[in-house]
Structure 1
């Protein structure tokens, strides 16, 4: 396993992040526990979840599964960097959502109970809340840091200017501010290269890509369809047809390198500037092991150029990408 610092924070995290969104809805508890056990064996020490996972009406289900795993393996808690999130709708009350100090205070206590732990190592704002001032948000976080309930804070799905606003306000208060940004990022979706990655690098945030395989599009869909004879659902079928010429060359490149398309997609992400590590959401132990194998794949300049030509990015950072 490879490790790196989480942005400008001193803590070391694995370059593969264990995403847990499937735990509960798609992966039963016993299998989820086996996946977490195997992740530790492989050296994965960065576990990511969210208070909303399990989804309505089962919000908190995933945190509970992780909490029971931690309770049965008390030695594991100090071996992992545990991340969760706050913002999403957690009930019917008008205050059961967002980033108000009221909601943050209620949700940190609920997450701690479900996770059966005394602290959250990385507490992430799941989305920006444009109705709440950063002074209020940071005041709430300052209290939690002082109580030892939160160690670091991060963002998710933030714009570049929002990262700047958040960290400038934190600096005025003498706080550390955001140390990570969790964002959608893959060969198919490279929008964050314009503004988000430059902002994250400037303010010292580690980039944690979610959906690094574009919802399975980069996971070998053409080969899987040919092998199984099955047809994709309407939405995926539309995406496949849109990208078919690219996917044919992409899957051929993976075959020429002797790796699966999924491993190639993860390897590309791991070669991108500013990336801490991609979130992978395995439903099985085999999917976890495949993801870890991406760390062993070296892509040379020719490989990276080929992938850039197949899936062009925005042309670099703004404004050079479109104005110069």
Structure 2
């Protein structure tokens, strides 16, 4: 496993991040625990979850599954850099969502209880809160740091100007502010290259891409359809048809490189200078083992250029749309 610093922080994390969103609704507890054990064996030390994860089983279930795994001991908690998120409404009662000081306090204590731990390493805002001032947010986070309940703050789904504003307000308070940003980023969805990635780099944030295979569309979907292994419906089917020519060319190129399409998609992200590590969300241990292969895929300048031809990206704004 390769490790790197998370943004400008001194924290060292694995180049692959274990996402837990499938734990509970898609993957049974015992299998989820086995996947987490296997992740540690692979050297993955960065685990990501959220208080709202749990799907049909109920919000909070995924954190409980992770917490039960920590409770087994064996230095599981000590070996993990734990990240969770808040923002989404946990109930329909007022102040049980978003980023008010009250909800930050309540949501943090509830996550700590479910996760069976005394602190969160990276406490992340799942979405920007346009109704709560940054003074209030940072004061609540400063209190949590002083109490030893969190170590770092991170964001998710922020625009570039949200990152810049958050950091400017944190500097006024002599507070560290954000150390990471989670954004959707993959070969098919590269909008963050316009302003989010430059803002993250300028402010010292590590970028954690989610949906690195775009819901499986970059994981060999055309071949799987042809072989009768996978069937798409709804938005995924529409996205495939809209991008079929590019995805077919991509799968052909991955075959020329001698790698699985999913491995190439993850490796491409690992070659992007702003990226700390993509989030992989395995439903099975086999999917986890497959994702780890991407660490051995090296893409030269010609391969990266070809991928840019298939899936054109963006120049940094404003050069993308102006002189």
State the TM-score, normalizing by the size of structure 1. 0.98
Would the alpha carbon gap of residues 56 and 177 (structure 1) be closer, same or farther in structure 2, given more than 3 Å must change?
farther
Residue correspondence of structure 1 range 100-179 to structure 2 within 5 A: 100-179=100-179
Q: Who is 1:318 aligned against?
A: 317
Q: Who is 1:303 aligned against?
A: 303
Q: Who is 1:204 aligned against?
A: 204
**3-state SS of paired residue (1:158):** coil
Structure 1 residue runs of 4+, over 3 Å off?
none
In 1, are the aligned partners of 2:209 and 2:277 still within 8 Å (CA)?
Answer: yes
User: What do residues 12-37 of structure 1 show as CA deviations (whole Å, max 9, x unaligned)?
Assistant: 00000000000000001000000000
Deviates more, 1:150-159 or 1:251-260: 251-260
**3-state SS of paired residue (1:321):** coil
In 1, are the aligned partners of 2:25 and 2:56 still within 8 Å (CA)?
Answer: no
Q: Who is 1:242 aligned against?
A: 242
Q: Who is 1:14 aligned against?
A: 14
In 1, are the aligned partners of 2:221 and 2:230 still within 8 Å (CA)?
Answer: no
Would the alpha carbon gap of residues 260 and 205 (structure 1) be closer, same or farther in structure 2, given more than 3 Å must change?
same
User: What do residues 78-128 of structure 1 show as CA deviations (whole Å, max 9, x unaligned)?
Assistant: 111000001001001021110000000000000000000000000000000
Alpha-carbon offset, residue 53 of structure 1: 0.3
Count of residues in correspondence between the two structures: 323
Question: Would you say 1:220 and 2:207 are equivalent positions?
Answer: no
Q: Who is 1:3 aligned against?
A: 3
Following the alignment from structure 2 to structure 1, what is the Cα–Cα distance between the partners of residues 162 and 93?
27
5+ residue gaps, structure 2: none
Q: Who is 1:32 aligned against?
A: 32
Alpha-carbon offset, residue 57 of structure 1: 6.3
5+ residue gaps, structure 1: none
Following the alignment from structure 2 to structure 1, what is the Cα–Cα distance between the partners of residues 55 and 131?
23
